[in-house]
Amino acid sequence: MLSCHGALKEIKGNTDFVFVLAGNPNVGKSSIFNRLTGMGVVTANYPGKTVELNMAATTFKDLRIGIIDLPGSYALGAVSEDQWVARRAVLDTSPDAAIMILDATNLARNLYMTLQFIDLGIPIVAALNLIDEAEKRNIVTDTEKLSKLLGIPVVPTIATTGQGLDELIKTAVEVAGKKYELRYNVRYGTDIETNLKKLEDLLSRYNFGIAPRALSLLLLEEDSEFTGLVEKNPDGRIILDEVKKMSRDIQQKHGEKTPMRITRERHGLAGSIASQVQGEITPAASDKLWAYTTSPLTGIPLLMGVLAIIFSFLFYGGNILSTLFSDMWAVNLSPLIDGAIFSIFGSGHVGKTLIWGFDAGILAALAVGIPYVLTFYFLLAFLEDTGYLNSVAFLTDRLMHKFGLHGRAIIPLVAGAGCNVPAIIGTRVLTTMRERTIASTLITLIPCSARTAVILGAVSLFVGWKPAVAIYVIVLGLVFFVGIGLNKVMPGSSSGLVMEMFPFRAPIISNILKKTWHRFKDFVFVAFPIVLAGSLVLGALYETGYLWKLAAPLSPVVEGWLGLPAVAGLTLIFAVLRKELALQLLVTLAVVMYGGGASNLLLFMKPAQLFVYALVNTIYIPCAATIAVLGRELGWKRAISIMVFTIVLAILIGGIAFRIINYFHLL
């Protein structure tokens, strides 16, 4: 990770032009960035900020072009980190051109930030993206008229296929090289424009490093960063007094504060421009589907149905793949691996320890990773690409407010079912540390794909699907009550929901496969070495007899309270590295002790114990990668608090569950 200023300086120094890529999070900006740049992406952070900038270089007609992908946001303000970083990067970079990605299906909502870029006086070219989706809804945009009204070039594009991107980069080069004359036509109400002109004339006597009109607007909008900048000038107090006078005049005329008035006029202008360039919009089939998925009456049953399909797919498909893979490995590969290791290292402690890693360990990793982790990532990518996750955000907004969260928080919460790490990073879209802390705590309780692998690989496979579903019900109940509790004890309140409708789309299988592999390769390249090392360590402890000595101190809690074998508690400690490692090491232990077969775990753990084991594993302290990202995103004090809380909660719930199961003879 490079420092932001160093990375910006480097990319400016090694390229002919620098472009910034801007747009909201759902408009295909990332797809355009990836198609324009390919590999070799560098990420950087501003000091004290966790939102990343992606930077890369590409070549166009012998020109070296640096492209900076700004955080996806809806405005260039300072309300949230993504907005602050986007604006700061634009001002620090002074790009040769900004490429603004617009959603052709929701033009008015997208034009707001475009107008802000124009207000800043930045050379700009607009990419009118999603024109294929717009056509499905009979939305026709007059790009020539849009270009004339804004005073900037507009290029139609389709990010998923790459259509129009060559023309886009060509136009951006022309704008950067001043071969295209920009004629900004953005004007607000007469009284605002009159005051802006007076303020421009006043500010033109000084050099603040920003265009006088742009600075005038920022001062009238009461932007704290630029108010502080002007205040440092010897004549700063005189300038700010004049700004206050103008602001009072505008407020008296319109009956609302000047920043709100400017925002309202900018939104109004965006809507006016959109209505002039687009005809009457005919609802498409996807709009009807959106209505069904966001209405509580139909959306909640649909959501339950989708979750049931996902679980069934994982349960039946995952179990079949896991059993098939284990049987094939036991018959075809195990004898070869064991024979090779014993012939080289003998059948003593060394040889047997290596068997733990290279036979049982690799088998455990593959038998969990491929059937469950890979399958879940595929399903998650499919839901993302269809646009369904955004409708879930609308549907659950009221529920999220009970937790003190913005409706958009449902997206990282759902993503947490894939992996907690990117989900916690995804909480950056929330505007306050309070919301991010609550969301991150709840995400650590959401069963990620690794914990789903434990639930399905240990409980559903050996105990049945009903107990596996019961674990999800218990955990979701905990999420609900913990969320309400945090909302009550933490000061503050949630912000309102601000999102545009994201149309449903037919997913492109190639994009789904790329996204699935991008996520799964981390499991392959990160988890496998950890599983191998963990299996070897566990094997060495087992073969030398130290395993039982280390397990003994855990006996009061693991055996006495949770009712589990002490050695099973030891595997839970290893799971701090990766959650699925606990099950993989447990399977490894079973394979080594009892040989191959589908019912190994039941040889030394009862169904009730497997249930409690999976439940505790699901709730307690997240994996090392999650701990690290919690510390980075929230600070170590909050991260440690979350860790301690989940450990206590897991032990408490696990012990209670064990006693209830035994008392009522449920398993």
Q: What is the pLDDT of residues 591-647, one digit of tens each?
A: 666 655 434 678 778 899 999 999 999 998 767 667 877 887 888 899 999 999 999
pLDDT at 578 over 90: no
pLDDT, residue 591, reads: 66
Return phi, psi of residue 158, to 5°: -130, 105
Give the confidence band of 5 by pLDDT, cuts at 50, 70, 90.
Answer: low
Is residue 471 domain-shared with residue 560, that is, in the same domain? yes
Of 7-16, 52-61, 115-124, 234-243, the one with minimum mean pLDDT is 7-16
Sign of the CA dihedral 193, 195, 199, 201?
positive
Say how far apart CA 192 and CA 247 lie, in whole Å: 9
Long-range contacts of 398-403 (CB under 8 A, 24+ apart): 400/494, 401/494, 402/483, 402/484, 402/487, 403/438, 403/442, 403/483, 403/484, 403/486, 403/487, 403/494
Total-model pTM: 0.61
Give the confidence band of 12 by pLDDT, cuts at 50, 70, 90.
Answer: confident
pLDDT, residue 439, reads: 92
> What is the maximum span of the chain, computed from C-alpha positions, in angstroms?
92
pLDDT, residue 356, reads: 75
pLDDT, residue 398, reads: 75
Say how far apart CA 666 and CA 394 lie, in whole Å: 38
Is residue 327 domain-shared with residue 453, that is, in the same domain? yes
pLDDT, residue 40, reads: 52
Residue 450 forms part of a structural domain: yes
Q: How far is CA 269 from the centre of its chain?
A: 32
Which of 176, 201, 228 lies at the terminal end of a domain, its last residue?
176
Q: What is the pLDDT of residues 73-110, one digit of tens each?
A: 777 765 667 777 888 888 888 899 999 999 888 888 88
Burial 408-430, CB ≥16 within 10 A → b, else e:
bbbbbbbbbbbbbbebbbbbbbb
Give the confidence band of 143 by pLDDT, cuts at 50, 70, 90.
Answer: very high
Sign of the CA dihedral 131, 133, 138, 139?
negative
The per-residue DSSP string of 377-396 comes to: HHHHHHHHHHTHHHHHHHHT
For 667, other C-beta atoms within 10 Å of its C-beta total 18
| Beta strands across the sheet bearing 52-60 | 2-3, 42-45, 52-60, 63-69, 17-22, 97-103, 124-129, 154-156
Range 479-486 average pLDDT:
93
Is residue 204 domain-shared with residue 167, that is, in the same domain? no
Give the confidence band of 498 by pLDDT, cuts at 50, 70, 90.
Answer: very low
Is residue 225 domain-shared with residue 333, that is, in the same domain? no
pLDDT at 469 over 70: yes
Q: Which two tokens stand for residue 128?
A: 């009118």
The per-residue DSSP string of 225-290 comes to: HHHHHHHTSTTHHHHHHHHHHHHHHHHHHHTS-HHHHHHHHHHHHHHHHHHHHB-PPPPPHHHHHH
Is residue 147 domain-shared with residue 266, that is, in the same domain? no
The CATH number assigned to the domain holding 110 equals 3.40.50.300
pLDDT, residue 328, reads: 84
DSSP helix/strand/coil, 544: helix
Is residue 109 domain-shared with residue 210, that is, in the same domain? no
Residue 154 forms part of a structural domain: yes
In terms of pLDDT, which residue wins out, 362 or 644? 644
Residue 476 forms part of a structural domain: yes
Residues, the chain, total? Answer: 667
Residue 508 forms part of a structural domain: no
The structure tokens 């060394």 sit at: 350
Q: How far is CA 485 from the centre of its chain?
A: 25
pLDDT at 500 over 60: no
Say how far apart CA 399 and CA 357 lie, in whole Å: 45
**Nearest CA among 142, 164, 529, 187 for reference residue 358:** 529
CA distances from 334 to 340, 342, 358, 554 (A): 10, 12, 9, 33
Is residue 104 domain-shared with residue 8, that is, in the same domain? yes
pLDDT, residue 147, reads: 92
Say how far apart CA 110 and CA 130 lie, in whole Å: 12
pLDDT, residue 646, reads: 94
Of 224-228, 283-287, 462-466, 505-509, the one with minimum mean pLDDT is 283-287
Q: What is the pLDDT of residues 34-59, one digit of tens each?
A: 788 865 555 555 445 556 778 888 88
420 close to 548: Cβ distance less than 8 angstroms:
no
385 close to 28: Cβ distance less than 8 angstroms:
no
pLDDT, residue 615, reads: 94
Q: Which two tokens stand for residue 518?
A: 């991008």
Q: 54 forms bridges with which residues in the sheet?
A: 43, 69
The structure tokens 């900076």 sit at: 68
Is residue 644 domain-shared with residue 559, that is, in the same domain? yes
In terms of pLDDT, which residue wins out, 235 or 290? 235
Question: How do 42-45 and 2-3 pair as beta strands?
Answer: parallel
pLDDT, residue 608, reads: 93
pLDDT at 134 over 90: no
Of 150-154, 395-399, 584-588, the one with minimum mean pLDDT is 584-588
Is residue 317 domain-shared with residue 258, that is, in the same domain? no
pLDDT at 470 over 70: yes
Residue 561 forms part of a structural domain: yes
The CATH number assigned to the domain holding 229 equals 1.10.287
Percent of the chain with pLDDT over 90: 23
Percent of the chain with pLDDT over 70: 84
**Nearest CA among 249, 250, 253, 212 for reference residue 230:** 212
In terms of pLDDT, which residue wins out, 568 or 46? 568
Residue 647 forms part of a structural domain: yes
pLDDT, residue 1, reads: 47
Element (H, E) at 397: helix 397-402
47 close to 4: Cβ distance less than 8 angstroms:
yes
Separation of first and last alpha carbons in the chain: 50
**Nearest CA among 587, 432, 592, 453 for reference residue 523:** 453
Q: Which domain holds residue 257?
A: 190-277
In terms of pLDDT, which residue wins out, 275 or 182? 275
For 637, other C-beta atoms within 10 Å of its C-beta total 9
Count of structural domains within the chain: 3
Say how far apart CA 51 and CA 503 lie, in whole Å: 26
Which of 249, 277, 305 lies at the terminal end of a domain, its last residue?
277
Is residue 259 domain-shared with residue 163, that is, in the same domain? no
In terms of pLDDT, which residue wins out, 181 or 462? 462
CA dihedral 44, 46, 51, 53 (to 10 degrees): -40
pLDDT, residue 431, reads: 66
Range 536-552 average pLDDT:
78
Of 158-172, 251-265, 320-334, the one with minimum mean pLDDT is 320-334
Is residue 15 domain-shared with residue 138, that is, in the same domain? yes
DSSP 52: E
Residue 400 forms part of a structural domain: yes
Which of 145, 176, 207 lies at the terminal end of a domain, its last residue?
176
Give the confidence band of 586 by pLDDT, cuts at 50, 70, 90.
Answer: confident
107 close to 265: Cβ distance less than 8 angstroms:
no
DSSP 160: T
Is residue 213 domain-shared with residue 248, that is, in the same domain? yes
For 48, other C-beta atoms within 10 Å of its C-beta total 6
DSSP helix/strand/coil, 300: helix
The structure tokens 């699901």 sit at: 618
Return phi, psi of residue 436, to 5°: -65, -35
pLDDT, residue 37, reads: 81
Residue 80 forms part of a structural domain: yes
By the 10 Å C-beta count (0-12 exposed, 13-18 middle, 19+ buried), 241 is classed as exposed
Say how far apart CA 28 and CA 129 lie, in whole Å: 7
